[in-house]
Chains A and B, each alone.
Chain A
Amino acid sequence: MPGKLKAKIVAGRHLPVMDRASDLTDAFVEVKFGNTTFKTDVYPKSLNPQWNSEWFKFEVDDEDLQDEPLQITVLDHDTYSANDAIGKVYIDIDPLLCSEAATVISGWLPIYDTIHGIRGEINVLVKVDLFNDLNRFRQSSCGVKFFCTTSIPRCYRAVMVHGFVEELVVNEDPEYQWIDRIRTPRASNEARQRLIFLMSGELQRKIGLKVLEMGGNAVVGYLQCFDLEGESGLVVRAIGTACTLEKISTFPATATHPNNSSPSKDMKDSPQAAPSTLGCRSTHSSPVHSASSRLSQGFSVSVPTLLFAGMKPRHRSSEVPRARQCRPGFGEEAPGVPLSSGPPTPLRAQTFSSFSPSKSYSRQSSSSDTELSLTPKTVGIFLCPSTPALESESSPLPSAHLPCHLRPGMASRSTTPPPLHISQSDTAMLRKSVSFSEELLLAVSGMGSGGSAGKEAGPLKALLRQQTQSALEQREYPFFTLTAFPPGFLLHVGGVVSARSVKLLDRIHNPALGNTRSYKLLDWNSFTADEPETRDAWWEEIRQEIKSHAKALGCHAVVGYSESTSICEEVCILSASGTAAVLSSRFMQDGPLDTEHRLSRQPLCVFSTGSERVEGDMGSSASLGFEEVVSPGCGFCHIPYDELNIPFPAQLTYCYCCRRYKVPDVLFTTIDLPTEANVTGKGCLIQARLCRTKKKAQGEGNATAISSLLPFLEYELHTQLMNKLKLRGMNALFGLRIQISVGETMLLGLASATGVYLTALPSPGGIQIAGKTPSDITYEQHISTMQKKINDTIDKNKELYEINPPEVVEEIIGSPIPEPRQRSRLFRSHSESSDEVSELDLSHGKKDAFVLEIDDTDAVEDIHALLTDSPTPAGFYSCNTEIMPGIQNWTSAIQMFTSVRVFRLNANLTNQGLNKIFSDLCENLLKSLYFKLRSMVPCCLCHLNFTVAIPEDELIQVAVTAVAMSFDKEQPLENGKQSGEKTLIKAITENDEQLQFNLELNAETSSHNPLSSPKGLSEVGSHLSARDRCSSWIEQLKLKAHTIRRGSVKTTSSLEKASPLPEGRSRSLRSNRSYSGSSVAVVKMTPLSFIPGAKIIKYLGIINMFFIRETSSLREEGGVSGFLHTFIAEVFAMVRAHVAALGGNAVVSYSMKECVFMENPNKNQAQCLINVSGDAVIFVRESELESTSVQTQSATTHTSNGGEGT
């Protein structure tokens, strides 16, 4: 029950006039939480009421605290008729439930009405007193932190990454209830807003529970989506990655990322232990000691146990859950800490080997835990040396043990077997292991290598895959919504995996639907048992498919994973995509895998005599040791799959960086570019756009038609991407996002990604055009001109993006350790490869060209389309990933924006015509963005996130959210740690070019000045000139105004002209701020996870807001554009206000998940739904670490003063 919510209504301002007679308002406020409502007094006749209410107190369950929003309604008191509502404020109190986030919500929040928009502001204070719930069966998950950020949040470090969490909640949509016919649009909208608020609260709570169960304390990469299914209901679903995060304390964190995820810390942060932490910690300390004392005894038995590890997960998976018993023991792992944090000397490997027995067993135990937990999706268990003992005991009698060991977890701690016991059990294991088959031997060796991964030796791929399977076998979905990883976590990337499925919505029925309770929440999961066709089952299907795809690529995990839907009438396309990858286990639950593979070298030596193939592996793994040390910049490019059994056609060559491992010719991924990646030149946004007409159909027929179109759509998108990539002379795509939207008469496909040139990958061949009828001379000429054009474009692009890969030299300078290289050559020689071969490969790769066949007009069109993509204007770069490779020196000037366009098509367009229109729409949108943001040049549009939809027949909607970030050209790029090392020479030449360009730009602007004194403006100027007398007060302003009046627009440099955002751009600005006495604190917003030039010092909680806006006076509000413009501005305003009220000054990882716009111009009506999310943070400028905190403080005091002043 434990929570006391307190709210105080301070004041209102800028209220609308509700009483026409007096031009004033008699306002009062209702504060509602759950079923309890309080009211303030009426503050008569004022547009700026001062209620200064008492503290309204709500005593509620923490479960409710998580689910429910605090609902504040501002009303106008009317003596004779019903009180009129002015508007509402929903406050998500979730951030207050986490001790590390915000402590109070205090500030001016916009009063929002779904019909009128923002109507004034209200100043409130909200606090929560939370009593900790220690109940294990509790339904709440207070304290679990949520982050939208898809990387480890800046001021945390990941102790452990537990894995995928998902949940889904269904309800009927109030908009489609019978009651909707008799209630007002306002009531409907509010019911909907409130319902979605409740549903997301519940969803978040449930996910939190799963995280706690897994032993995590946070969800990173939390992605929540709505499916507005119309008649069949409303689905709110979310996915995320459960992690155990630890706040980085003030002293510098371990520079090298924690190899040694210190178990004692894990313990502290793991909320699973947390409920009992207080008691538990003390018991911990003692096992630590005992364990370390036991250390020496462990050595001898390490080898045999390893064997066991390889086999165990297979046939033991269904065995008794022992997790709870094990957990108490994991403190004993602590001795590993001091050891592993030491220098990575060979000695270290030995030390680790001492632990091997425990590691291997613990893995079993974790797998068994899966059964124990309510949600068997993922594993969340620590490993402990004590298991072996229990293992051996319990193995004969499986399920019988469950009850007795399950609950008394605490008690079993004390029974942690003494060291002696362990060695006993180990010997038992040894005996068992003797009987292992050869197959198992192989599995083991595969396992050993798997940790280090990245074997180039072909035959080992099979083993690797086996290992792969076992490594994450326990996880139902080894998925990670993260797109950026701690260094060393991501070992190899296989490629993009995606799955789609077309479903008919009318086939689902929810037995509980149809009743009239408007906000009764239903958990769809509870029906899964007897309802096979549920949302959950659908997603499960897709996830399984993704998983198997990943397996086919030799990968055991999927990273950068996301899910989406597109709904049209009763057809729904579910999509999921991600990047198949091999991860280092160091951050994962079964972290010991990491150590295991290290020590595996030893057992491998033991067994290598038995198998040649193993020998090869041993060589590489031995030479590698810590692979990330050897080749941080290219390791992830090395193929994880079996070279002889490639799942798709690809040309493999030896890595251009290390020359030791095979890499594919192109690499597509959905993740961000790893920071350590070696990249040549800069990247750019690459988009493939496609429109396909479809016959109108109903139900099943429609679904079939769509499913048959989908593969073609995807294929063509892929081809387009590939062509465009080659056209830009690049060889890899990051952040790939393919969106397919379904409409009644067409399908839209939009693939966006950031193309880069990975130094490790071979240079892409050109594009060659081949005609079908070579006899025709004119045709040939045509082809050759086209070919020339393409070649020119490629050359131009290479120059533009500074792609000048270093010539491949025979002896690679970068090869860090000559010895292992020789050794690897030695091993390779008996398979097919030698260095000569690789040399050959390289040259071959270079000559190889991508051939486009022109066999019909379509293809010609395609090539034209290929060439029509206009390059970004000078000074601009664009990407859809977080950062642009090759740009480091960001200034603090950022401008986040959202742009929406809706285009009406003519009927009866061909595919070709549609394509062109769609492509032009996107291109023009980009051009508009560049133009709008021209004052920020040089700048990069980052995280360009396109969303397409077909809101109606013949309408295409494109929405873009991105951030423009300025960067400094003058500074050399060397401050980035990796770029400095990379190529000094390159940086210098780059600088030269930039300088040149700069001069050019200047010359251009100045030369325009005399010419461009515009006729129109000079006319205007003549009578304006009198105004010159009114010299302005601000120097700068005066200057600009002057130029305007004179009518010479051009004399103001383009930099000063439009200013999308000079925030923080100039120093003078900051000084101006105090001068003007602005009372609204500036809140920055960005879709990125960071703010350039600033340090995020605190995460205040997740922002997840859903708004509906409706109008029945569309024309009066400026038409559709005016309506939507206002609405988006209002949404921004509300996000900013809520962040400011939490005490934050920025939103990171902001995204607009949903923007559903519907209009009916004939009725003068429109409706729009917007869902946004992000992380509220406090940041401090790096330059003014101390002063800013003072500033923010003063800003907030300003805010409160401002209210009283007016």
Chain B
Amino acid sequence: MSMELDVFVGNTTVLDQDVYQLWLDGHTVSDAVRIRMEAGALQECEANAEVLHSDTTDQFRTFQMCERLLQSPSKVANQLLFQIPPHRQTMLIERYYEFDSVFAREVLGKKLSKGTKKDLDDISSKTGIALKSCRRQFDNFKRVFKVVEELKGPLVENIQRHFLLSDVLARDYAAIVFFANSRFEAGKRKLQYLSFQDFAFCAGQLISYWTVGAVDNMMEDLDVDLEKDFLHDLKDLKVLVNDKDMLDQHKSLVCAQLRGKIKVFSEMEANFKNLSRALVNIASKLTHTKDFRDLFIDLVEKLIEPCRSDKWTIGDLRLFLKHYSSSVHMLEAFRHQVIWDRYMSVIKSCILKMYHD
């Protein structure tokens, strides 16, 4: 004796958000039933296990049927198969594209290819996220990447338009696309302490100020490639450390500003030249793909770690960077103010974001 067939179809598609989440998280039906039972679903409506199982199976099937649509969200609104009120459509899509930042952190900077897909097993066991959910998230990344890759115009807007995502989520996807496109090194052990959000913030900064799209909206192709001219111009900043006079002048200006204002003044004073050299060197080497990919590891090794070992507080660092970048304006011999500002504003906010334990 068994239930051969059991379906429930509503004119308005019946969607249970909790069950949707369980489905997205990659649970099996029996897992989901267990979790729902533990969550007290049986108290509702005098349900029994059988009812719950039937409901869960049915919901899972519904989601599975919707999945095809969710993969091209623009179809959700004008498909005829499921009558779903608009706000529910939004919810479905948003949830489907939401991802675990732990997972995203693992994938960050990796090529979104089949090879990586094979690593999902490892990521799954490492993060405790169900493999099924990993696959969905990875496929989402890949899908968004593929679609956006060939589109003109601003990245975030493109993602938003094609996937009907919220602004926040679209920005996260932009970061993922940006990382996947630029192949930044993010997997090194020294970078492990950084969260996805840290990287996403940095990516946002880079996208906003350093990319092709940042200066010209009408550029063809993916606008997340960094502006070549800008990177090339960054080489001119070398003068700041190569010209001894300028370096000294810069140092004295910064010291004058910071004296008494930061606790680590002496350490700063002693380290100024190293720090400045590190910052300028990073800038000048960005044209090389290898060095470019190492941007974050460089920032950590050359700047963050030394500061941390000298026990700078984040406030100290903020003041230092502020004055370090602004005092350059007072160097009369320095003629690359615009480039400098463009570089420093991004680097400053990235460092500050990354400066934590």
Residues of A within 8 A of B (CB): 13-14, 108, 110, 118, 121, 870, 873, 876, 895-906, 917, 924, 927-934, 937, 955, 957, 1004, 1008, 1011-1012, 1014-1017, 1019-1020, 1023-1024, 1026-1027, 1029-1034, 1036-1037, 1040-1041, 1044, 1049-1050, 1052, 1054, 1056-1063, 1068-1069, 1072-1073, 1075-1080, 1082-1085, 1118, 1120-1122, 1124-1126, 1128-1130, 1132-1134, 1136-1137, 1157, 1159, 1199, 1202-1203, 1206
Contact A1017-B7, Cβ < 8 Å, known A873-B45, A1037-B90: no
Smallest Cβ-Cβ distance to B166: which chain A residue: A1033
Scoring A1023, A1079, A1083, A1137 by chain B CB atoms within 10 A of each residue's CB, the highest score goes to: A1023
Q: Is the CB of B10 within 8 A of A897?
A: yes
Whether B3 sits at the interface, judged by CB under 8 Å, is yes
With both beta carbons as reference points, the residue of chain B lying nearest to A107 in the complex is identified as B80
Say whether A1058 contacts B16, CB under 8 Å.
Answer: yes
Pick the interface stretch among B49-57, B178-186, B231-239, B300-308: B49-57
In the complex, A1023→B55 CA distance in Å?
26
- Check if B86 sits within 8 Å of A1076, measured CB to CB: yes
B249 an interface residue at 8 Å Cβ cutoff? no
A72 smallest CB distance to B (angstroms): 16
Within 8 Å CB of A1203, what residues of B? 78
Measured CB to CB, the nearest residue on chain B to A920 is B50
Q: Which residues of A contact B87 (CB under 8 A)?
A: 1034, 1036-1037, 1068-1069, 1072, 1076
A14 to B68, CA, bound (A): 12
- Please provide the chain B residues from 72 to 95 with a CB less than 8 Å away from any CB of chain A in the complex: 74-75, 77-83, 85-91, 94-95
B6 contacts the other chain (Cβ, under 8 Å)?
A: yes
CB <8 Å contact, A1083 and B91: no
- A1125 vs B16: C-alpha distance when bound (angstroms): 17
* Across-interface contacts of A932 in B (CB, < 8 A): 8, 10, 14, 55, 58
A1085 and B5 in contact, given A1026-B196, A1037-B87, A1130-B81 (Cβ under 8 angstroms): no
Which of B4, B65, B81, B166 has the most chain A CB within a 10 Å cutoff?
B4
Q: A927-B47, A1034-B87, A1133-B80 are in contact. Are A897 and B11 (CB under 8 A)?
A: yes
- Return chain A residues, CB-CB under 8 Å to B17: 1040, 1044, 1052, 1056-1059
Task: Select one of B35, B57, B77 contacting A1079, CB under 8 A.
Answer: B77
Most A Cβ at <10 Å: residue of B21, B82, B172? B21
B65 lies within 8 A of A1126 (CB)? yes
B77/A1080 in contact, CB under 8 A: yes
In the complex, the answer to whether A928 meets B18 with C-beta atoms within 8 Å is no
Chain A residue nearest to B94 (CB atoms) is A1032
Residue in A13, A901, A1076, A1128 whose beta carbon sits within 8 Å of that of B90 in the complex: A1076
**Contact at B14–A1044, with CB atoms within 8 Å?**
no
Which residues of B (160-188) have their CB < 8 Å from a CB of A?
Answer: 166-169, 172
Query: Could you tell me if A1026 and B6 are in contact, using CB atoms closer than 8 angstroms?
Result: no
Give the nearest-CB partner of B4 in chain A: A902
- Asked if residues A1063 and B12 are in contact (CB atoms below 8 Å), the reply is yes
Contact call B18/A1049, Cβ cutoff below 8 A: yes
Question: Can you list 24 A-B contacts with CB-CB less than 8 angstroms, sorted by A residue number?
Answer: A108-B80, A110-B81, A876-B45, A901-B5, A904-B1, A924-B54, A927-B46, A928-B8, A931-B45, A1012-B39, A1014-B38, A1023-B100, A1026-B196, A1027-B99, A1032-B168, A1041-B98, A1060-B14, A1061-B11, A1069-B87, A1072-B85, A1076-B90, A1121-B7, A1129-B82, A1206-B74
Choose one: A110, A937, A1129, A1202; the contact of B65 (CB below 8 Å): A1129
Shortest Cβ distance from A324 into chain B, in angstroms? 49
Contact among B13, B25, B38 for A1015, CB-based, below 8 A:
B38
Contacts of B13 in A (CB 8 A): 1129
4 nearest CB pairs, A to B: A1076-B86, A1058-B16, A1016-B35, A1033-B166
| Contact (Cβ within 8 A) A928 B74 | no
Query: What is the minimal beta-carbon distance from B285 to any residue of chain A, in angstroms?
Result: 32
Q: How far is the CA of A1049 from the CA of B90 in the complex (A)?
A: 20
Of all chain A residues, which has the CB nearest B172? A1030
CB pair B35–A900 under 8 Å, yes or no, is: no
Determine if A1016 and B51 form an interchain contact, defined as CB atoms under 8 angstroms apart.
no
Distance between Cα atoms of A865 and B321 in the complex (Å) = 81
B260 at the interface (CB under 8 A from A): no
Most chain B beta-carbon contacts within 10 A, residue among A1082, A1132, A1133: A1132
Does B125 make an interface contact (CB < 8 A)?
Answer: no
Given A1014-B38, A1016-B38, A1060-B14 in contact, is the A902-B3 Cβ separation under 8 Å?
yes
For window 97-137 of B, CB contacts with A under 8 Å fall at 98-102, 127-129
How far is A1130 from B81 in the complex, measured between Cα atoms in Å? 6
Contacting A1118 at CB < 8 Å: which of B64, B98, B167, B169?
B64
Cβ–Cβ < 8 Å partners of A899 in chain B: 7-9
Q: Are A904 and B169 within 8 A (Cβ)?
A: no
Q: Do residues A1026 and B195 form an inter-chain contact, with CB atoms below 8 A?
A: yes
Q: When chains A and B are docked, how far (Å) is the Cα of A931 from the Cα of B41?
A: 10
Q: Of A928, A1031, A1037, which one neighbours B91 at CB under 8 angstroms? A: A1037
How many Å from the CB of A1171 to the closest CB on chain B? Answer: 16
In the complex, which residue of chain A has the Cβ closest to the Cβ of B3? A903
Is B35 within 8 A of A1012, CB to CB?
Answer: no
Q: Note all chain B residues with C-beta closer than 8 A to A1037.
A: 87, 90-91, 94
Given the complex of chains A and B, what is the CA–CA distance between A1068 and B101 in angstroms?
Answer: 31
CB atoms of A900 and B5 under 8 A apart: yes
User: Chain A residues near B18 (CB, 8 Å)?
Assistant: 1044, 1049, 1052, 1057-1058
A903 pairs with B4, CB closer than 8 A = yes
* Residues of A with C-beta under 8 A to B77: 1076-1080, 1202
A1063-B85 in contact given A1032-B166, A1049-B18 (Cβ < 8 Å):
yes
Which parts of B211-249 form the interface with A (CB within 8 Å)? none
B168 lies within 8 A of A924 (CB): no
Report Cα–Cα, A1033/B98, bound state, in Å.
13
Collect the chain B residues with CB atoms within 8 Å of residue A1206's CB. Answer: 74, 78
**B contact residues around A1017 at 8 Å (CB):** 35, 38-39
Bound-state CA distance A108–B78 (Å) is 10
Query: Quick check: A904 and B14 within 8 Å, CB to CB?
Result: no
CB distance from B7 to the nearest CB of A (A): 4
Q: Which of A906, A1060, A1063, A1136 contacts B80 (CB 8 A)?
A: A1136
A305: shortest Cβ distance to chain B, in Å?
Answer: 57
Query: B34 contacts the other chain (Cβ, under 8 Å)?
Result: yes
Are B169 and A1030 in touch, CB under 8 angstroms? yes
With contacts A1016-B35, A1033-B166, A1037-B87 taken as known, whether A1023 is within 8 angstroms of B129 at the C-beta atoms is yes
B-side contacts of A924, CB under 8 Å: 50-51, 54
Q: How far is the CA of A506 from the CA of B74 in the complex (A)?
A: 55
Closest to B76 in A: A1078
User: Min CB distance, B316 to chain A, in Å?
Assistant: 27
Contacts of A1124 in B (CB 8 A): 5, 7
Judge whether A1054 and B51 touch: CB under 8 Å. no
A1057-B17, A1078-B86 given; name 14 further pairs at CB < 8 Å: A118-B80, A924-B51, A927-B48, A931-B51, A934-B44, A1014-B39, A1023-B128, A1027-B98, A1029-B197, A1062-B88, A1118-B65, A1129-B81, A1133-B80, A1199-B78
A898 in complex: contacting residue of B9, B40, B128, CB < 8 Å = B9
State the Cβ distance, B292 to closest chain A Cβ, in Å.
27
Check if A1133 sits within 8 Å of B48, measured CB to CB.
no
Instruction: Assess the A1137–B80 pair: CB atoms within 8 A.
Output: yes
The reply to whether the CB of B62 lies closer than 8 angstroms to some CB of chain A is yes
Q: Which residues of A contact B15 (CB under 8 A)?
A: 1058-1059
Residue of B nearest to A871 (CB): B46
Task: Report the Cα distance A1054→B83, complex, angstroms.
Answer: 22
Q: Determine the distance from Cα of A778 to Cα of B62 in the docked complex, in whole angstroms.
A: 53
CA distance A116 to B168 in the complex (A): 38
B:273-311 near A, CB below 8 Å:
none
Given that A897-B10, A1037-B91, A1037-B94 are contacting pairs, would A1075 and B86 also be in contact in the complex, using a CB cutoff of 8 Å? Answer: yes
- Are B4 and A1084 closer than 8 Å at their CB atoms? no
Q: Which residues of B contact A1011 (CB under 8 A)?
A: 40
CB distance from B111 to the nearest CB of A (A): 24
Give the docked Cα–Cα distance between A1054 and B94 (Å): 22
